[in-house]
Amino acid sequence: MDEKTQMHVWVSGLVQGVGFRYYVRQQASDLPISGWVRNVSDGRVEVLAEGERADLETLLAAVQRGPSGSAVTEVAVDWRPAAGRWSKFSISPSE
């Protein structure tokens, strides 16, 4: 079993108003991942997820694709040690 890690992602493009947060939550629910997704006031979507690296990379690939109707233009990722603060994956209030 791999050690848990944290992935902090900023997604740019047409990612608000297209069901992006719900898509990310659904993708995460299929994996043993905890954390959250939210809209940011500058038009981006922010994702903070924790789990095993391989599972996070699966989620990252889904985030890079996005749901139909979205258009992801840039994805910035920061990897960190897991904080262990979340027990599930949810949609957080917008920033």
Share of the chain above pLDDT 70, in %: 98
Determine which one of 39, 44, 53, 80 is catalytic. Answer: 39
Looking up tokens 């629910």 gives 29
Q: Is 39 a catalytic residue?
A: yes
Q: In this model, does residue 1 exceed pLDDT 90? A: no
Q: Residues near 90 by Cβ (< 8 Å), separated by ≥ 6? A: 25, 36, 37
Q: What is the pLDDT of residues 34-68, one digit of tens each?
A: 999 999 999 999 999 999 999 999 999 999 999 99
Q: What is the DSSP letter of 22?
A: H
C-alpha to C-alpha distance for 6 and 30, rounded to whole angstroms: 17
Asked if the structure places residue 88 within a domain, the reply is: no
Share of the chain above pLDDT 90, in %: 96
Domain range for 20 is: 4-81
Determine which one of 21, 53, 65, 85 is catalytic. Answer: 21
pTM summary value: 0.95
Q: In this model, does residue 2 exceed pLDDT 70? A: no
Strands 45-52 and 89-91: unpaired
Q: Is 25 a catalytic residue?
A: no
Split into its structural domains, the chain has a count of 1
Q: What is the CATH number of the domain that holds 12?
A: 3.30.70.100
Asked if the structure places residue 94 within a domain, the reply is: no
